[in-house]
């Protein structure tokens, strides 16, 4: 059950004292930097643009990516939001905050999650133990943490659009959401109608910095990964198996390609199942902006670099991976990379645009 293992798809910031725990998904549409990137200097967070020019001076205790023109910030152990001028347009006041999606953001107040708009107005009163972002006009929520309490979906008014009845559930993607009924996974549409009967064990698995985490089984580019027996394949929105189960690992399709694992090596296939880049890497991430991160060695000893769609290594494999659990990928022209004792941003030529000064 993917929600019991790691809330990989949540992309919210839970505030612990004055620090931030960032839980990132990839494969999600969130995480778009909008050409502003968080940096850390003198124990404060600020922002640079994709040329490395400082656009917001470091002044926050914490800072996240910009989405829909707003970024999460932290001051005095509370979360709020800043605009691209660096003004805290929604003052830090919440114990937990989520990125904006479809104009709304989940916030934690007095132990419950509700939703605010971009003016900071609480438009859905805090009533949920867990709340996710809005996608296709639906937000995935739970009213309690117990496994006996089911997942459901609310609309933008906070009313139940799909009553809570699922053991597990994912965000909507391309109009469908993966849900669990009686221990099996299938798909529903935004009305709650089951369109692909629950018969699968789980969706795809992703690896972030080599750590296996359960994906949400989202549809991407018209296909979704499913597990049959011990192998993964891909179905279309009719539930038809279009790429037969044959892989030990799969990622979501991105830019017409998907990562697959064969005999502990990773490569890429197209949407017909044809191998486009031979499985030869120790690990691999999805393509983004024409490049994909690959590990040329092993999880413990290998280094990360970037290949193009011909499989050619175009950025030398010399990085430890990404920061935290953020997928190693390019966004708005830059990728955040981890070095041995620091981190920074590189451009697509491999040039270091900004690097955190060593302590």
- What's the pLDDT at 322? 83
Alpha-carbon distance 324 to 326, whole Å?
Answer: 6
- What's the pLDDT at 225? 92
Angle at 9 between CA 292 and CA 181, to 5 degrees: 120
Residue 319 near residue 304 (C-beta atoms within 8 A) = yes
Alpha-carbon distance 140 to 162, whole Å?
Answer: 9
Structure tokens given for 303: 């280094």
> By CB neighbour count within 10 A (0-12 exposed, 13-18 middle, 19+ buried), where does 33 fall?
buried
Q: What is the pLDDT along the chain (359 residues), one digit of tens a residue?
A: 222 222 223 333 444 333 333 332 223 334 455 789 999 999 999 999 999 999 999 999 999 999 999 999 999 999 999 999 999 999 999 999 999 999 999 999 999 999 999 999 999 999 999 999 999 999 999 999 998 999 999 999 999 999 999 999 999 999 999 999 998 999 999 999 999 999 988 654 454 445 444 555 899 999 999 988 888 999 999 999 999 999 988 999 999 999 999 988 999 999 999 999 999 999 999 999 999 999 998 766 789 999 999 999 999 999 998 887 678 999 999 999 999 889 999 999 999 999 998 76
Give the closest residue to 273 by CA, choosing from 311, 235, 244. Answer: 244
Residue 32 near residue 332 (C-beta atoms within 8 A) = yes
Residue 113 near residue 139 (C-beta atoms within 8 A) = no
Alpha-carbon distance 236 to 244, whole Å?
Answer: 12
Give the closest residue to 73 by CA, choosing from 43, 49, 99, 55. Answer: 99
Alpha-carbon distance 27 to 29, whole Å?
Answer: 7
- What's the pLDDT at 298? 72
> What length is written for the chain?
359
Alpha-carbon distance 92 to 88, whole Å?
Answer: 8
- What's the pLDDT at 10? 32
Structure tokens given for 8: 């990989």
Virtual CA dihedral for 143, 117, 58, 27, nearest 10 degrees?
60
Residue 155 near residue 142 (C-beta atoms within 8 A) = no
């Amino acid at each position: 059950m993917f929600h019991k293992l790691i809330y990989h798809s949540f992309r919210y910031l839970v505030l612990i004292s004055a620090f931030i725990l960032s839980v990132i998904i990839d494969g999600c549409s969130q995480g778009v930097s909008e050409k502003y990137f968080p940096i850390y200097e003198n124990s404060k967070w600020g922002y640079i643009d994709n040329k490395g020019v400082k656009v917001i001076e470091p002044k926050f205790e914490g800072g996240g990516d910009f989405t829909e023109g707003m970024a999460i910030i932290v001051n005095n152990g509370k979360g709020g939001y800043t605009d691209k001028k660096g003004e805290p347009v929604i003052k830090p006041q919440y114990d937990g905050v989520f990125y904006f999606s479809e104009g709304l953001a989940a916030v934690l107040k007095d132990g419950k999650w509700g939703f605010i708009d971009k003016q900071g107005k609480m438009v859905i009163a805090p009533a949920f133990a867990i709340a996710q972002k809005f996608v296709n006009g639906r937000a995935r929520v739970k009213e309690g943490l117990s496994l006996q309490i089911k997942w459901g979906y609310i609309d933008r008014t906070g009313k139940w659009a799909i009553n809570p009845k699922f053991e597990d559930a994912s965000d909507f993607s391309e109009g469908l959401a993966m849900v669990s009924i009686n221990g099996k996974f299938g798909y529903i549409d935004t009305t709650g109608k089951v369109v692909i009967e629950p018969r699968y064990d789980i969706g795809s698995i992703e690896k972030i910095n080599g750590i296996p985490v359960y994906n949400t089984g989202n549809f991407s580019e018209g296909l979704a990964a499913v597990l049959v027996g011990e192998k993964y394949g891909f179905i279309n929105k009719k539930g038809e198996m279009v790429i037969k189960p044959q892989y030990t690992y799969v990622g979501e399709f991105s830019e017409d390609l998907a990562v697959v694992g064969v005999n502990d090596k990773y490569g890429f296939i197209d949407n017909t199942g044809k191998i486009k880049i031979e499985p030869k890497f120790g690990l691999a991430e999805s393509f983004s902006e024409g490049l994909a991160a690959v590990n040329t060695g092993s999880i413990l000893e290998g280094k990360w670099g970037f290949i193009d769609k011909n499989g050619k290594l175009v950025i030398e494999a010399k990085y430890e991976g990404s920061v935290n659990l953020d997928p190693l990928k390019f966004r708005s022209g830059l990728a955040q990379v981890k070095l041995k004792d620091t981190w920074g941003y590189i451009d697509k030529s491999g040039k270091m645009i900004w690097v955190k000064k060593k302590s």
